[in-house]
Amino acid sequence: QSVLTQPPSASGTPGQRVTISCSGSSSNIGTNYVFWYHQLPGTAPKLLIYRNNQRPSGVPDRFSASKSGTSASLAISGLRSEDEADYYCAAWDDSLSGLYVFGTGTKVTVL
């Protein structure tokens, strides 16, 4: 069902910067806002980014995001061990009667 494509994995050492891409289409990312969620092992997902690049209260500024055309990206700077999690992009899709679509997910490993 995923129509947003992410790399399956990404990794870095503590302190490094890691970037995750999210590729969509004109009916989702190209037209609507992008969101990012992360999911720590064994827990519920948590909102990281809304409106393409805005952080909710409480989310550290180590997390940043951008969008260009039909693609988006999430960057984690100053990587920490607690950032090891699954990361998902998401967007509303206009072609499917208002369907909310998630990305395929990226597992971030802190080496």
Binding site for another protein (CB under 8 A): 1-2, 33, 35, 37, 39, 44-47, 50-51, 54, 56, 86, 88, 90, 92, 96-105
Minimum CB–partner distance for residue 43 and another protein (Å): 8
Instruction: Output 18 or 35, the one with its CB closest to another protein.
Output: 35
Spatial separation of the C-alpha atoms in residues 13 and 23, rounded to whole Å: 25
Distance between alpha carbon 106 and the CA centroid of its chain, in Å? Answer: 8
- We find the least distance from the C-beta atom of residue 89 to another protein, in angstroms, to be 10
Name 42's Cβ contacts closer than 8 Å, sequence gap at least 6: none
Six token digits for residue 99: 């369907």
In the complex, what is the shortest distance from the CB of residue 49 to another protein, in angstroms, rounded to a whole number?
8
Query: Which residue is it, tokens 């990404």?
Result: 10
13 or 58, CB closer to another protein?
58
CB 84, min distance to another protein, A: 17
Which residues, including other chains, have CB under 8 Å from residue 27's CB and lie 6 or more apart?
93, 94, 95, 96
State which residue, 44 or 82, has the beta carbon closest to another protein.
44
